[in-house]
Structure 1
Amino acid sequence: MFPSFDAEAFLRDHWQKRPLLIRNPWGPWVNPLEPDELAGLACEEGIESRIVVQRDGDWALEHGPFGEDRFATLGGSPWTLLVQAVDHHAPDVAALIAPFRFIPDWRIDDVMVSYASDGGGVGPHFDQYDVFLVQGLGRRRWRVGPRCDRDTLLRPHGDLRLLPDFTATDEWVLEPGDILYVPPGFAHDGVAVGDDCMTYSIGFRAPSRPDMLVEWADHLAAAMPDDDLYADPDLTPAANPGEIAPEAIARLHAMTIAAMADRSAFANWFGQHVTTPKYPDADWRPEEPVTAEDMLALIDAGADLMRNPASRFAFLRSENGVTLFVDGSAHACAGDLALLAQQLCANPAVTLDRSMAAGIDLLVTLVNQGSLMIDDGHED
């Protein structure tokens, strides 16, 4: 964490309440990614990228991947390149998340990186997630307005959710290393001041009630037998055959709610759900699977295991220990194994030692599924 940053005060006074400007708390700031590297990522298949070009008072959106010559043909109009989940591909960008881990990991989405030419931006808008906007290179003027909601009018735009009327209540110019926190729903607009403007957006997700209801119900339904049917063995003659009797509604309601009310089952489902990779097509598995014997040798060598930056780790406590969730899989852990599971969740890297011998099978599984990566000090 930043030496002078009061996390408790921030959570009490600002988190999901009001914006906050934090002038460079990093000390000497070093931009973790070069513009050319960002452009290179935008040209790769499987990496989500966009370009927003401003012309004649409007914004046009293009989706990547882009050809290498696209950036040379953008012309003089202000433009912005946005690349999602750059932390999955650039360790120095992933390191930007560390100071914000006073917020639980399961809330972290990814680090989006933007590059803008002079005057470039994506227009005034609002988002439904918390975000820390870290100025990496150049300068950007941020204007923040009032909180918006589902009734806020939007411009008639097929691709972007832009505000037609935007009145700023605060305005700042961010220099490299400065951070602006914007809570969900607050209108904001960032415009590059000069060329070579790079911003790192550390976003935090919040599950929506409709999505959770649908996905939890789908999960339950998939595990139920087809013959789990409504039954009324105590049925009596109907006074009116067109009526759905109160007794039937009560039984149907109970039949539905009882399945969804299992808190333990919900917790186990949610742990797997929230750790499922955002980009499941990425394959981080080693070329040659490791064995338990390999892992014991690595322990003896004091090798390091690093968490794959694209992987998601979380755990739930229980009477018998913890359940570790990694990339959508669940692992029951007790005793020393529970301590290892918590250590893996707390640290981006761990040094192997003999105290971890009880977790050999777990470590082998996580390495072979690509969630952990071996760093034994050798290039191979």
Structure 2
Amino acid sequence: MHISDFNSEAFLRDYWQKKPLLIKNPWDNWENPLEPNELAGLACEAEVESRLIEQTDASWAVEHGPLPEARFATLGPSHWTLLVQAVDHYVQEVAALIEPFRFIPSWRIDDVMVSCAADQGGVGPHFDQYDVFLIQGSGRRRWRIGGRCDETSALLPHDDLRLLAAFEAKDEWILEPGDILYVPPGIAHDGVAIGDNCMTYSIGFRAPSRSELIGDWCDDLLGEMATDDRYSDPDLPLQANPGEISEAAIEQLHAMVAETLYDRDRFARWLGRYVSTPKYPDMDWRPDAPIAPGELRTRCAAGDALCRNPASRFSYIGGSGDTVSLFVDGKVFACRAETAAFAQQLCTQSQFTLDTGQLESAGLLALVAALFNQGSLAFG
């Protein structure tokens, strides 16, 4: 799907992480990519993350999937919402909704959560810690937008939902099919379905916290450190007071930590692996049988197209000269010359074919075969 009359540069300048924006049906030809019964079917699968939220008076009940198929027959006519996470991993048409928003760096994109709500269904007033584009798929939904919130904002007591204790709307919009609402992080919002079969596609963006970055970075460093890399002081002078930690010791110990933490090249390699790690790393997308570069070349020469696994994450970091580090699903691939150019192409195209020149590159075929065999690429 494509959107028209949308100025991404102006959006980034005026709205991104600054203020909400309602975009009235900008699609060339909007079609809802998923039916409610298809979403319900996904919620019954064990490997799919899903929740069913029901509101009764002032109380909220949450059930976590997988949900039994018979559960949907017991739902009332109103005040319930089904939420299914990462639907783009399983439905190609939903994954295609991300493409118009690729003006945001790919490593920032998380997934597409899909909700289906009965009349008056919603998840209550809340705020997120990440940016989100809310696409109205079918039906209608009233969105009320409040002020900016943070960790000091009062929440209602609930084990599964982060509901605001106080919510005051500043703007209100009714979204029709194809409409898009952008909500920056920290902005309170509340969406309530108007009528049945209200489907919303939420394209969420990752925003790692400082504590997450530091914690994972340090864990990675610790896993690679030698146990015999220790403090030493062969020129230790005699101290007047043995209880003092000297300035010289502090400087040396601090330098031991700092020179490791501030190794920018090492940090960049870790960051590429970190941001390309799949949302569900335990999922096994590998083919039943691995493919050899020769077989791959034969199929590609016959015109077979390759496509990226929608659940996979692709990013790269440019090196010196014609060298590129390609990061796919938490692994790094060193690419040079024509393979480097291909790696950059791979990060922008969800489907592609290999041309004659590429088919003659043993290094490029080896890279594609490795990505195929780890489940990041497939024929399709």
TM range (shorter): over 0.9
Bigger drift between 170-179 and 206-215 goes to 206-215
Say if 2:4 and 2:28, in contact at 8 Å, map to a contact too: no
SS at match of 2:212: helix
Identify the residue that residue 66 of structure 1 maps to in structure 2.
67
- 1:97-246 map, 5 Å: 97-246=98-247
* Aligned match for 1:370, one of 352, 372, 375: 375
Q: Deviations 1:140-160 (Å, cap 9, x if unpaired)?
A: 000011111111111122221
Identical counterparts, % of pairs: 61
CA distance in 2, matches of 1:16, 1:339: 32
Identify the residue that residue 316 of structure 1 maps to in structure 2.
317
Identify the residue that residue 338 of structure 1 maps to in structure 2.
340
CA distance in 2, matches of 1:158, 1:315: 39
Identify the residue that residue 54 of structure 2 maps to in structure 1.
53
CA distance in 2, matches of 1:85, 1:111: 5
Q: Deviations 1:215-257 (Å, cap 9, x if unpaired)?
A: 1111011101111112222222333333322222221111111
Say if 2:126 and 2:163, in contact at 8 Å, map to a contact too: yes
Identify the residue that residue 16 of structure 2 maps to in structure 1.
15
Identify the residue that residue 271 of structure 2 maps to in structure 1.
270
Bigger drift between 304-313 and 229-238 goes to 229-238
One-letter identity of the residue aligned with 1:371: S
Deviation for aligned residue 1:205? 0.6
Q: Deviations 1:13-68 (Å, cap 9, x if unpaired)?
A: 00000000000011331100010010000000111101111012121211111100
CA distance in 2, matches of 1:44, 1:239: 70
Q: Deviations 1:45-95 (Å, cap 9, x if unpaired)?
A: 111101111012121211111100111223345111100000000000000
Bigger drift between 348-357 and 265-274 goes to 348-357
Correspondence 1:353 to 2:358: no
One-letter identity of the residue aligned with 1:200: Y
CA distance in 1, matches of 2:58, 2:243: 60
Say if 1:298 and 1:352, in contact at 8 Å, map to a contact too: no
CA distance in 2, matches of 1:249, 1:339: 47
CA distance in 2, matches of 1:286, 1:267: 30
SS at match of 1:46: coil
Deviation for aligned residue 1:206? 1.2
Q: Deviations 1:86-129 (Å, cap 9, x if unpaired)?
A: 00000000000010000111000000000111111000000000
CA distance in 2, matches of 1:149, 1:312: 29
- How many equivalent pairs are there? 375
CA distance in 2, matches of 1:286, 1:277: 17
Identify the residue that residue 378 of structure 1 maps to in structure 2.
none
Say if 2:3 and 2:28, in contact at 8 Å, map to a contact too: no
One-letter identity of the residue aligned with 2:337: G
- Give TM-score, length-normalised by structure 2: 0.96
- Give TM-score, length-normalised by structure 1: 0.96
Bigger drift between 182-191 and 356-365 goes to 356-365
SS at match of 1:346: coil
Say if 2:95 and 2:310, in contact at 8 Å, map to a contact too: yes
Say if 1:302 and 1:353, in contact at 8 Å, map to a contact too: no
Q: Which runs of 5+ in 1 are unaligned?
A: 376-380
Q: Deviations 1:148-185 (Å, cap 9, x if unpaired)?
A: 11111111222211101100111000000000000000
Identify the residue that residue 300 of structure 1 maps to in structure 2.
301
Deviation for aligned residue 1:342? 0.9
Say if 1:55 and 1:77, in contact at 8 Å, map to a contact too: no
CA distance in 1, matches of 2:241, 2:198: 72
Deviation for aligned residue 1:300? 1.5
Please tell me the root mean square deviation across aligned C-alpha atoms, in Å.
1.1
SS at match of 1:177: coil
Say if 2:142 and 2:194, in contact at 8 Å, map to a contact too: yes
Bigger drift between 65-74 and 104-113 goes to 65-74
